[in-house]
Amino acid sequence: MLSWWARRSCVHRCPARPWLVCLTTPEAGVTAPKTADLFAQDGVPHLTSGSPREWAVDPSWDAVLTPFWQGSVGRSLQARLEARLTQGAIIYPPLPLRALALTPLSSVRVLILGQDPYHGPGQAHGLAFSVSPGVRVPPSLRNIFKELQRDLGQALPTEGCLEPWAARGVLLLNTCLTVEAGQAASHAGWGWEVLTDAVVEAVASSAPACVYLLWGAHAQSKASKIEVCARSHGHEALLLSSNHPSPLSASRGPQPFLGNGHFSQARNWLAARGYPLHWAL
């Protein structure tokens, strides 16, 4: 199912603050987490701080992030994360805002919405559906790769890391950005959804042409928000909907994921507007 239109934004433009900066290179006054600090005793990367000052992001997202972390929901979220870490909880991923570090706001051409980070050891690394190099490809991602192969004739990727997509303007965003080891959806309702809704609004408000891949009911619940924000800014938005790629729903009607053709539709729609997109991994 697809639809498109135009519009202006509903994101509130707040002054950016300089303390949320990209840590790709050392910078005065900013301390990036040491690699060793991101690993649990068993060598599996995990979250070590509930402070967003420790999480690298691209500065283009500051106007979205700063008011959130200054507000009551953001402060409460930080406090809950710090409390659970103090109690010994293992929380994934090590860098919750990695999607916003790899894909600047001005570069977003496709938004893929996930729900919850993987909760197995070493799986989640801050990008929806993606896993770290060397980690076994999860079932939902296997189905994404199957559809990629069927739709575009590409060879099945051997690794599940989707960072090449992120570098090309595909924002891989979960609506909840942390989870405790072995406990699916354990941080749902903590406040992440408020932040990621603001991220979705910012994309719809700023991207002149963007494709939104809405797989499953959870992602599709954001459709009206996207429509309103894109339309009010006079922007084009292509919304493509189907079932979630999970094995439980990927082949089920009325909108099976397998066979949806979303990858070619997104590529062709963007190409017609002067934005080439390559799905190869």
Q: Which of 37, 116, 151, 197 is catalytic?
A: 116
For residue 25, which amino acid is it? T
Q: How far apart are CA 165 and CA 260, in angstroms?
A: 19
User: In terms of Cα–Cα distance, which of 236, 271, 242 is closest to 256?
Assistant: 242
H-run or E-run covering 257: none
**Tokens of residue 279, six digits:** 């799905």
Tokens 């990621």 — which residue? 196
Active site residue 116: yes
Region of 185 (left: φ > 0; alpha: ψ -120 to 50; beta: rest) is: left
CA distance linking residue 172 with residue 56, whole number of Å: 16
Residue type (1 letter), 135: V
- The single-letter code of the amino acid at 87 is Q
Contact in structure between 248 and 216 (CB atoms under 8 Å): no
Pairing type for strands 2-5 and 236-242 reads antiparallel
Which residues, listed in sequence order, are joined to residue 272 by a DSSP beta bridge? none
> Which residues are tagged catalytic?
116
